[in-house]
Amino acid sequence: MGTEKTTALPSLIELVQQIQVDIGNNDTLYLILAFMAAILTLHGMAVLVIASAFHALDRLLKSIPHLAGASFISYFIAILLIIFTHILEIVAWTYVLVAHSVFPSVTQTFYFVGEMYTTLGFGSYALSSSWQGLPILISFSGVFSVSMSGAALYSMMGSLVTRKPGSGAPSV
């Protein structure tokens, strides 16, 4: 048997202290954390408005049997609007990082944000230690935004698939 080296796990306080040492005095990262909270709030509100508008329109269209198929069109419009909100969020993240000169070019910043937001993580980006927390923040933003969008789209789809064929009224 070989000698096994055991490493004691750090306490939560030690872990946070080490992360703060790595980040250094990067107050900008805390502002970006606030930006993430704001963008998630705005995304939630936008998705709520889109879903509410869809459901209101769907109720109206259900009362007119020969227009029942129009709800599917409104659903696809809702999908496009939600996709547009995600694109706007990627652009907003890009502007924030460009303003702080995290990367040398706008396109490199855009690709980085897109990969982190979608959690694709395809590229290889060298970040200074003070910016290493950035991918986590952008990824959280994307994951939670996509989750909110998915829940809203699921709710909207549910109102479409519960209809009786040839009827504007939902099935029971």
| Rounded Cα distance, 102 and 127, in Å | 8
94 domain residue, yes or no:
yes
Residue 165 clears pLDDT 60, i.e. is over it: no
19 domain residue, yes or no:
no
Q: What is the mean pLDDT of residues 119-128?
A: 82
Note the pTM of the prediction, 2 decimals. Answer: 0.80
172 domain residue, yes or no:
no
pLDDT, greater one: 149 or 1? 149
What is the count of structural domains for the chain?
Answer: 1
166 domain residue, yes or no:
no
Q: Residue 145: its pLDDT value, please? A: 97
Q: Residue 45: its pLDDT value, please? A: 97
pLDDT, mean over the chain: 85
pLDDT, greater one: 65 or 142? 142
138 domain residue, yes or no:
yes
Per-residue confidence band for 25, with pLDDT thresholds at 50, 70 and 90: low
User: Which is nearest to 156 in space by CA: 79, 86, 41?
Assistant: 79
Domain that holds residue 150: 26-161
User: Which is nearest to 148 in space by CA: 64, 1, 3, 50?
Assistant: 50
Q: Residue 171: its pLDDT value, please? A: 47
3 domain residue, yes or no:
no
74 domain residue, yes or no:
yes
Q: What is the mean pLDDT of residues 81-91?
A: 97
User: Burial letters for 9-42: b for 16+ Cβ neighbours within 10 Å, e otherwise?
Assistant: eeeeeeeeeeeeeebeebeebeebeeebeebbee
Look up residue 45 and give its amino acid.
Answer: M
Q: How would you classify residue 105: left for phi > 0, otherwise alpha for psi between -120 and 50, otherwise beta? A: beta
